[in-house]
Amino acid sequence: MEKLTVREFDPQGKRVLMRVDFNVPIEDGKVKDDSRIRASLPTIRYLLDHGASVVLMSHLGRPKGKVVESFRLRPVAQWLSALLRMPVPITGDPLGVGTRDAVARLKPGQVMMLENLRFHPEEEANEDGYAKTLASYGDVYVNDAFGTAHRAHASTVGVTRYLPAYAGLLMEAEINALSNLLEQVKHPFAAVIGGAKVSGKIGVLNHLMDKVDTFVVGGGMANTFLVAKGHTVGKSLLERELVEEARQILDKAEKSGVQFILPTDVVVAKEVTRGAEHKIVPVTKIPNSWSAVDIGPASTEAFKAALDPAQTVFWNGPLGVFEVPTFGDGTRAIARHLADKAENGTTVVIGGGDSVAAVEELGLTGKMTHISTGGGASLEFMEGRTLPGISVLLDKPGEPVAEVAQVVATKPAMAKVRPTKKPTPTMKPTPTKKAPAKKPTQAKKAVAKKPAPAKKAAPVKKPVVKKTVSVKKAVVKKPVATKRPVAKRPVAKKAAPVKKAPVKKPVASKKAAARKPVAKRPVVKKAPARKSVPARKPVAKKRVSRKPAATKPVAKKAVPAKKPASKKIAARKR
């Protein structure tokens, strides 16, 4: 990966502002599926174990710029508190004096959360003042929210105007898994594309056309292709206006020698509802008043056979209306087949919210090579698009490029949220090797202008990075279309908060702690030796005094010890 990660700065004593994707389903005040929360744990633990304090921020749902009680992140903070076995206080608002004070009180090894970022319209508008206030909560910014990396919001893009920006471990894993598919893939490479509509997948089909050996296409979108081939599809979901486009895609595949496998038989139903009358018919005989809701058994076998030689498979989109169990046979059969293949060494990557849900329901997530936590983001990535939240992260330095280096060296330090005395070594030029003739990418500019991490904290060490020349270019080719940072005068600390909102009492110390005894103070293990955290040199021994771990363990039931096999199981356990 060509982006700097959390491993490339020294977290000791730093306050890290970390964007996570905690947009998880919540029902009756409880987290229904915590996979996104668990996915962020390696980065959070890494930072805490290495002496940082962590201010987490996320959105939840679509509150459209207003406070919506059902979109409060409190249940997430409680869940995280149980997972981390330490208090995770949450503020009542992302802004306000109370929030600022809570951030200021945070000590190394402690973690807190901001309330739902989208309670303010400024988040999605990527408003500069909002971004600046958020940035004032940290010395360093880490983005681990791959799921929102396709959105240029204040917390994904705006903050990087003010803080040095690094990728979290999840972000890194996502970028690596997906960019491998686009750049270093092992052939034969097959893409299974399904889902409701062609319109949502045209970008992926076109971008993968010269990369895959085989397309396997099912789901509602297959109908438009079937019509392009001269069939009729009855009442099935069809995008008539895209039939011509579908025909062109079929032509392109034929000309490029790409296998394009469509269903030969389908399950048709009188209604697309549970319990509806249904039968299997060949695609040449779809009755006028019926809808195709799943691939048929002959298609399932043909799909499996087409996937057999594949060394790499990317799957996006269910092959039928799998939410109705009777119409989920094709999806389940292909999921199992891919899980078997993955166990036998094939690289299998699943992207897309519904496809991932289907795999989770079957308890097969652990078998796949990579399950993307980003729905829209993974799709946009596979379309070859630049994701704004990724392109603004700091680039790994490559070979120095004289021209760029000079520009960087002569730039004045830009506006800081809190003034610092001198620029830290982090701000040193990190020119990349790529295309010296090209304009510097925004990331490079951002490097040039980034303020030194404010405050008295020990200066950020210069990233200890080898001169990596990554072959992965798809991720960040273009600068993001966001406002360029303009050098401003440092803003006084007090200018930041916009709204008042007293910080609520720490979640964990309220309900959670009432239920289960949790250590009053975070417990930070001295020897970070977690599997997910790559080995690194030991951190400085200087530690803020911490209380020993609570003698009583956190109630075991609070959190499933292992990742639940499926959402349903997780729900039952709760």
Give contact residues for ligand ADP (rule: CB under 6 A): 194-196, 200, 219-220, 237, 292-293, 316-318, 320-321, 323, 352-355, 375
Nearer to ligand ADP, 96 or 375 (CB): 375
DSSP string, 482-535: SPPP---PPPPGGG---S--PPPPPTIIIIIHHHS---SS----SS---TTSPP
Q: Which of 353, 384, 477, 515 is catalytic?
A: 353
**Residue range at the interface with Mg ion (CB under 5 A); choices 37-45, 52-60, 350-358, 545-553:** 350-358
Active-site entry in 36, 118, 396, 418: 36
d(CA 149, CA 388): 6
197, 270, 336, 536: the active-site residue: 197
Terminal CA-CA length for the chain: 38
**Is 354 a residue that touches Mg ion (CB under 5 A)?**
yes
196 binds, among ligand ADP, Mg ion, none (CB under 5 to 8 A by kind): ligand ADP
| CB closer to ligand ADP out of 142 and 205 | 205
Q: Kindly write down the DSSP assignment for every residue of 344-384, as one continuous string.
A: TT-EEEE-SHHHHHHHHHTT-GGGSSEE-S-SHHHHHHHTT
Could you confirm whether 450 is annotated as catalytic? no
For ligand ADP, the closer CB: 196 or 550: 196
Residue 491's closest CA among 104, 56, 135?
A: 135
Nearest to 139 by CA among 506, 503, 426, 389: 426
In this structure, the chain runs to a length of 574
Q: For ligand ADP, which is the closer residue by CB, 92 or 375? A: 375
Rounded distance between C-alpha atoms, residue 491 and residue 152, angstroms:
23
Residue 237 site contact among Mg ion, ligand ADP, none (CB < 5 to 8 Å, cut-off depends on kind): ligand ADP
Active site residue 375: no
Task: Work out the angle between the directed axes of helices 35-49 and 74-84 (0-180°, nearest 10).
Answer: 60
Catalytic one among 247, 376, 385, 568?
376
By C-beta, is 94 or 374 nearer to ligand ADP?
374
Q: Nearest approach, Cβ of 22 to ligand ADP (angstroms)?
A: 19
- Say how far apart CA 386 and CA 75 lie, in whole Å: 33
**Minimum distance between the CB of residue 177 and ligand ADP, rounded to whole angstroms?**
16
Q: Could you give the string, one character per residue 6-25, with x where binding to Mg ion holds by CB under 5 A and - elsewhere?
A: --------------------
Nearest C-alpha neighbor of 269 from the set 320, 216, 345, 315: 320
- Residue 353 annotated to the active site: yes
Contact status: 353 vs Mg ion (CB under 5 A)? yes
Please report which helix (H) or strand (E) contains residue 337, including its range. Answer: helix 329-343
Answer yes or no: 530 catalytic: no
Q: How far is the CB of 222 from ligand ADP (least distance, A)?
A: 7
Contact indicator for 342, 369 with CB cutoff of 8 Å: yes
Residue positions annotated with a catalytic role = 36, 197, 353, 376
Contact footprint for Mg ion (CB under 5 A): 353-354
